[in-house]
Amino acid sequence: SQQGEEDPQALSIQEGENATMNCSYKTSINNLQWYRQNSGRGLVHLILIRSNEREKHSGRLRVTLDTSKKSSSLLITASRAADTASYFCATDATGNTPLVFGKGTRLSVIA
């Protein structure tokens, strides 16, 4: 299975600190995506990084991708209480197969 595995499963930090979540996967990919899910809501797309990219930024988000290690990280800088959510990585192996999601990291940001 190409399912991603996030690490850690749960993370609790103080507001203003940085949060780092990691994702590992098993097969070759076209791209890797990160999603956020607030409690009781649907998933929201955050950022996509292609297999030929190593780093990408979007606001307070920084994503890295190491295809040799089949891993990615999501860094949220200067976290806020509103960042409290579950974060999922998802891998896209080809253009015709659906995204495969990891098990997610539950982030709690304490004000």
Partner 1 sequence: DTAVSQTPKYLVTQMGNDKSIKCEQNLGHDTMYWYKQDSKKFLKIMFSYNNKELIINETVPNRFSPKSPDKAHLNLHINSLELGDSAVYFCASSQVDSHGYTFGSGTRLTVV
Complex with partner 1: residue 14 or 42, whichever CB lies closer: 42
Are 47 and 111 in contact, with CB atoms under 8 Å apart? no
Return the number of other C-beta atoms located less than 10 Å from residue 46's C-beta. 18
Phi-psi region of 40 (alpha: psi -120 to 50; beta: other; left: phi over 0): left
Is 107 a binder of partner 1 (CB under 8 A)? no
Structure tokens at 69: 């290690």
Complex with partner 1: residue 27 or 97, whichever CB lies closer: 97
In the complex, minimum distance from the CB of residue 87 to partner 1, in angstroms, rounded to a whole number: 11
Residues that bind partner 1 in the complex, under the rule CB under 8 A: 33, 35, 37, 40-45, 48, 86, 88, 95-101, 103-104, 106
